[in-house]
């Protein structure tokens, strides 16, 4: 639909660089598929309740994720990674619809006590399980800014945790 925010986002993401030559890449790098667009639209439908606790989502994922079939099981390492990412957000980020973490891969590795390569593997696995997505900047660097007065995120590129929340709360509301 014209004017729909998802449509606008898809148009933005699929805008190509004129200097890309014969190869056409989405601005920001990653290809947006219909599956990603649908998942993003569904995730954005979540409106947290006033008593929302962002750590509850991780607790639920920990309880059900470790008992899932091997193909979709969450290892303790993935749970620890996800818990760290959630810890890097503020409660208001979830109410504002922007639970984005811009912690660098190197710093994430230091905090988890793993290598940067393992951080990338963990995040790719979490993305494959549709628990996170990447909100890319054109150079793939993670960065963000908060309003000094309100503390709200004014712009961010990094790991978007909205999907993890969607996976937990939307199905239970139907």
Tell me how far apart the alpha carbons of residues 28 and 56 are, in angstroms, rounded to a whole number: 32
Tell me how far apart the alpha carbons of residues 45 and 166 are, in angstroms, rounded to a whole number: 8
Q: What is the pLDDT of residue 153?
A: 93
Q: First vs last Cα of the chain: how many Å apart?
A: 25
Q: Which residues contact 65 (CB under 8 A, 6 or more apart)?
A: 72, 73, 74, 78, 79
Q: Cα 52 to chain center, whole Å?
A: 18
| Phi, then psi, of 75 in degrees rounded to 5 | -75, 160
Q: What is the pLDDT along the chain (174 residues), one digit of tens a residue?
A: 444 444 444 444 433 333 333 344 344 455 666 655 655 665 565 566 667 677 877 787 788 777 778 888 889 999 999 999 999 999 888 888 789 999 999 999 999 999 999 999 999 999 888 888 888 888 889 999 999 999 999 999 999 987 766 655 544 443
Is the pTM here over 0.75, yes or no? Answer: no
Q: What is the pLDDT of residue 171?
A: 46
Tell me how far apart the alpha carbons of residues 35 and 40 are, in angstroms, rounded to a whole number: 9
Q: Is the dihedral of CA 54, 59, 64, 68 positive or negative?
A: positive
H/E segment holding residue 156: strand 153-160
What structural domains does the chain harbor?
A: 48-172 (1.10.10)
């Amino acid at each position: 639909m014209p004017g729909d925010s998802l449509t606008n986002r898809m148009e933005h993401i699929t805008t190509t660089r004129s200097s890309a030559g014969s190869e056409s890449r989405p601005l920001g790098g990653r290809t947006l598929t219909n599956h990603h667009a649908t998942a993003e639209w569904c995730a954005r439908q979540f409106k947290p309740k006033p008593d929302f606790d962002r750590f509850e989502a991780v607790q639920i994922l920990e309880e059900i994720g470790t008992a899932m079939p091997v193909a979709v099981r969450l290892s303790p390492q993935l749970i620890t990674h996800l818990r760290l990412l959630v810890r890097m957000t503020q409660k208001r980020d979830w109410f504002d619809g922007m639970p984005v973490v811009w912690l660098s891969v190197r710093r994430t590795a230091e905090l988890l006590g793993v290598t940067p390569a393992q951080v990338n593997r963990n995040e790719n696995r979490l993305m494959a399980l549709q628990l996170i997505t990447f909100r890319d900047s054109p150079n793939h660097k993670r960065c963000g800014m908060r309003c000094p007065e309100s503390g709200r995120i004014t712009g961010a590129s990094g790991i978007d945790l909205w999907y993890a929340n969607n996976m937990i709360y939307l199905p239970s509301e139907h």
